[in-house]
Structure 1
């Protein structure tokens, strides 16, 4: 059983900070059995960079008549136009990036397969990015596979108990949302870390922080993991 764990929603082409968590914990639990936000969320969108600056990629999802959905149940639009637009955008943004050719084929294969569930899109993209970011030994596991539900810190405690893990890895930005007393009652301590968005070589002019990790992978390739690793340091409240 893992000694440490982190928790994050399964984002679409997530930012490098997502992988900072995954790299510092033995296992990353993807919270797929929580409600899909009815407002803004990174679960179905993220940002890349093109000649004109930041470009947002959004996966259209089916909402009408479906009420509040869990992330694992969300279906994407079957219309092909958005997929074509995404692929054209990525080619336009990264045609000159040194490692784009390595990523282009797997991404195009996924867009051709067009899974029905948003979760399957996001998991597939995580696997495509995985070799560049070296997640912990156990990789990631779905919350739904652990059979736990809940909200807030109580959910974190239940996940820790289900894993048999005694340490939650969390960024200092999450401090206001984590009740250490609740975790302590389950024998779980918190390993805090500070993450400072790294500056790395980008295409298209002035640096833009917190883009999708795809931007980092396309431009820096095998150096991406070390760049993210050096952006983290232990932190104590």
Structure 2
């Protein structure tokens, strides 16, 4: 049993979905504390001028320890119109944008009170598009939620009866590998691959939101990229036939 986990980010990059696709159970850390400068309420897209941040304003002043699940969006600001306009302006000429216009149009014309609900709606949709059937669990419902750092991850693995944990590269800074060895749990660290694909505008920019790949490459090639296929062409042929 292989396990991983992460906070529910806003329109995450491909690496988030790569971790989800490579494990049997993926833990959504819905009660992690908000970190300023992270990706819970913002992410990058590409514009004709370079990369562009899309940031959702949140109500966090005076209570920085609020868990992600309880963070409210500041809807006094017109962020939905700005984000949707930026996406349309920069991706309306991409090959597959029309395939996703209705879904994202609904997202940005709906009312969202909590950032968690918005993020999970997008994450769930993209998982379906990429044929990722990994089981999700939620830290708020688990006993390991009371632990911290390395002990938290170890408790998560034991609770889910995992024998393998897929960690982000920063895990090397805080995971006590000897504790995992004693429990018979192997740790793998995610390797960030250098990927390139056809983008709009000028030079290639890496590590953007998954929508940059999805709008430019479509679901079949995006799935191949996320799953780390060595030959995109072979994977595309196989997936295309399986989708008929």
Is residue 62–residue 77 contact of structure 1 (8 Å, CA) maintained in 2? yes
Structure 2 matches for 1:219-230, cutoff 5 A? 219-221=216-218, 222-230=220-228
Q: CA deviation at 1:182?
A: 2.6
The residue number in structure 1 matching 2:4 is 6
Q: CA deviation at 1:171?
A: 4.2
The residue number in structure 1 matching 2:17 is 19
Gaps of 5+ in 1: 233-237
The residue number in structure 2 matching 1:184 is 181
- Which one of 196, 199, 202 corresponds to residue 199 of structure 1? 196
Q: Distance in 2 between matches of 1:100 and 1:112?
A: 17
1:88 aligns with 2:85: yes
TM-score by length of 1: 0.89
Is residue 156–residue 183 contact of structure 1 (8 Å, CA) maintained in 2? no
Higher RCO (CA-CA < 8 Å; seq separation 6+): 1
TM-score by length of 2: 0.86
Q: Distance in 1 between matches of 2:77 and 2:64?
A: 24
Q: Distance in 1 between matches of 2:170 and 2:191?
A: 8
How big is the alpha-carbon RMSD for the aligned residues of Structure 1 and Structure 2?
1.9
Is residue 17–residue 197 contact of structure 1 (8 Å, CA) maintained in 2? no
The residue number in structure 2 matching 1:58 is 55
Q: Structure 1 residues 102, 61: CA separation in 2 closer, same or farther (over 3 Å shift)?
A: same
Give the total of aligned pairs.
Answer: 228
Q: CA deviation at 1:224?
A: 0.5
Is residue 28–residue 137 contact of structure 2 (8 Å, CA) maintained in 1? yes
Gaps of 5+ in 2: 231-244
Q: CA deviation at 1:231?
A: 6.8
Structure 2 matches for 1:148-167, cutoff 5 A? 148-149=144-145, 150-167=147-164
Structure 1 stretch 148-157 or stretch 204-213: which is displaced more? 148-157
1:141 aligns with 2:131: no
The residue number in structure 1 matching 2:71 is 74
Q: Deviations over 1:6-32 (max 9, x none)?
A: 111111111111111111111211111
- Which one of 197, 214, 218 corresponds to residue 217 of structure 1? 214
Q: Distance in 2 between matches of 1:71 and 1:231?
A: 33
Q: Deviations over 1:92-139 (max 9, x none)?
A: 01101111112221112122222211110110110221134333x433
Q: Deviations over 1:193-228 (max 9, x none)?
A: 422131111111100000001101111112101122
